[in-house]
Amino acid sequence: MKYLFGAFLSLTLLFSNAQELKRPDIPGDLMVDVGFNVWSSMPGPLEKNTWASKSIGIYYTKRKVLANNFSFGYGIGLGLEKMSLGDSATLSSKYTFTFSGNTPDSLTSVAIIPNSQNFKKNKLATTYLDIPIEFRYHPLGTDEGEGLFIGAGGIIGVRLNAHSKWKYDNQGENVTQKIEGKFNLNSFRYGYQVRAGFKGIHIFYKRYVSDVFKDSFTDGSNPVMTTVGINVTGF
């Protein structure tokens, strides 16, 4: 939580300082989303920890004014997602990795691993190459595609990599493990987004309608992801 607020505060200060300097003539904007992730359901014994599940999107965007009250934006960038899975169980991309002799409840390429010691940190991190598009309505009118606005659009992404990171106690020793894998994650994601704000600062809501995993778990669950947060644009 403190890292998320620290990141947003840093972005706000940078944005404020940037307004005092002469901006280079670059045909576009750097757009940064900072927010929280939520899965619609948690498979098996996995637990939801929204405050520890963070999302950062960094995009280069361009905007075209369609009319005095409408504009269209598009971009490309990275979506960095971290999902906290609680302290009692985690995901592994291998059948053979278990804790304390427990048998994982597994899919073809992913397993839920119970941990009798409980995790101090337990996250699944995924990086996507995202392409967002958006139409904006400016009720007060604008010549530059800025000012007060509400917007709606879509987003599509390709998964670049994924890893899990665990911290737990093993007979008095603090152990940290990082495991890279596919974790049965979908290679693509797609969804819609809604935004509202004024000039370079606004709030956003993203809903990915694609399933997080390729196959459902044995309990039938396969979540979709929602992200909400704050944006700073215009560096």
The residue segments making up the domain with residue 165 are 2-19+29-233
Q: How far is CA 48 from CA 42, 54, 82, 84, 170, in A?
A: 7, 12, 12, 7, 24
Q: Is residue 54 part of a domain?
A: yes
CA dihedral 26, 76, 162, 168 (to 10 degrees): 50
Among the listed residues 36, 32, 64, the one whose alpha carbon sits nearest the alpha carbon of residue 48: 36
Is there a domain that residue 48 lies in?
yes
Q: In this predicted model, what pLDDT tens digit does every residue of 110-146 receive, in sequence order?
A: 657 666 667 888 899 999 999 999 999 999 887 766 7
Q: Tell me if 24 is assigned to some domain.
A: no
Amino acid letter, residue 203: I
Domain tally, the chain: 1
Tell me the pLDDT tens digit for each residue of 51-100.
999 999 999 999 999 988 999 999 999 999 999 988 888 887 653 333 34
Work out the widest C-alpha separation in the chain, in whole angstroms.
Answer: 66
Query: For residue 190, what pLDDT is reported?
Result: 98
> Of 8 and 173, which is predicted with more confidence?
173
* Model pLDDT, residue 199: 85
215 within a domain of the structure (yes/no): yes
Residue 28, phi then psi, degrees to nearest 5: 165, 180
Residue 39 pLDDT > 90? yes
Give the position of tokens 């007979």. Answer: 171
Both structure tokens of 96: 């053979």
Structure tokens at 47: 């637990």
Residue 33 belongs to some domain of the structure: yes
What's the Cα-to-Cα distance from 46 to each of 30, 53, 56, rounded to whole Å? 35, 13, 23
Tens digits of residue pLDDT in 180-209: 888 889 999 999 999 999 988 999 999 999
- Has residue 113 been placed in a domain? yes
Pick 6 or 197 by higher pLDDT.
197
pLDDT-wise least confident of 29-33, 105-109, 113-117, 223-227? 105-109
- CATH number of the domain enclosing 150: 2.40.160
In a domain? residue 208: yes
Q: Is residue 179 part of a domain?
A: yes
- Which pLDDT score, from 0 to 100, does residue 36 have? 96
Give the separation between CA 208 and CA 129, rounded to whole angstroms: 14
Cβ neighbours, 10 Å, residue 82:
16
| Mean pLDDT of the chain, nearest integer | 82
Q: What is the pLDDT of residues 147-167, one digit of tens each?
A: 899 999 999 999 999 998 888
Rounded Cα distance between 67 and 86, Å, is 48
User: Over the range 159-198, which residues count as b (16 or more CB within 10 Å of their CB) and which as e?
Assistant: beebebbbebeeeeeeeeeebebebbbbeebebebebebe
